[in-house]
Amino acid sequence: MKRGMALGAVLLALGAGGTALGQKAVAGGATAARQADGGLSVMPAVIQVQSARPGPLQEITVANRSAAPINVTVTPRPWMQGADGKVAPNRRSTLGGVSVSEGSFTLPSGGEKKLVINLGALPGAGALYGALEVVGLPADAATRKGVVLGYRVVGSIRLLPAAPKYGLTAGKIKASKGTAVLPVKNTGNTIDPVTGSISVKDARGTRNPSVQGLKILPGNTIKLSLGSKLTKGTATAKVTLNQRGKRLLSLTKKFRVK
């Protein structure tokens, strides 16, 4: 029988009130990182340091709550953020400047291991945001037949800047098939939530969707929805966006709905 692999995933959020990471998303913390039926746990699951310097960042504990030994790998990874704002670890890359004292090991049933997350160098922007991916597979996975259950926990690494910088820029409104989006780029160095207001007026009247707790990774661009089922013809959008109580973007633009 051909052997398959299934990972039971617990994926944490980019930050409280942020966009969910994927399959089974919860707001961060050690309790949230535990599988309900045992398996793999990581404590703490969110590593956050203000004004980080090269050297040890945080000690974490990885525990095997399953009934059998598991092989564990621990890998810091960069985030990928889609145009819809959703984020996921980039499994094809590792997070530059961050390392783990031991990246792979075997844990017996009920066993625990303490690891140290280290910082080699902080990027020039003064901040770094990434994921900590912890995968556990049965130690005898190579010889098992059928589907083999593994575990995957994804936590967050947030190295906050000593000097926060805030900036948002907007691109050209794109409208198609009754929907419209506004590209918004984070030109700052924080993931502080973006809030604000939107007013879109078309032939049917005015709609006022709100912006609450939107997190954009530094340097990334997301497509902010201005509405759906818009009437064909000319429409006007008024958008105001804030971060940390500061108004960073305010615009009024006309666009055509096709």
Compare 221 and 209 and report the one with higher pLDDT. 221
Tell whether 172 and 155 lie within a shared domain. Answer: no
CATH number of the structural domain spanning residue 204? 2.60.40.10
Residue 107 token pair: 């844990």
CA distance 63 to 153: 11
Tell whether 179 and 95 lie within a shared domain. Answer: no
CA distance 136 to 69: 9
Helices (H), 83-198: none
Tell whether 241 and 130 lie within a shared domain. Answer: no
Tell whether 135 and 195 lie within a shared domain. Answer: no
For the chain, the distance separating the N- and C-terminal CA atoms, rounded to the nearest angstrom, is 53
Percentage of the residues of the chain whose pLDDT score is greater than 70: 85
Q: Of 100, 160, 162, which is closest to residue 128 (Cα–Cα)?
A: 160
What pLDDT does residue 34 have? 41
Tell whether 195 and 124 lie within a shared domain. Answer: no
pLDDT tens digits, one per residue of 9-38:
555 444 432 222 222 322 233 333 343 446
Query: Which domain, by its residues, includes 65?
Result: 4-160
What pLDDT does residue 41 have? 93
* DSSP-derived pairing of the beta strands 25-26 and 4-12: parallel
Among 160, 177, 199, residue at a domain's last position: 160
pLDDT tens digits, one per residue of 172-201:
999 988 999 999 999 999 999 999 999 999
Over 70: is that where the pLDDT of 116 sits?
A: yes
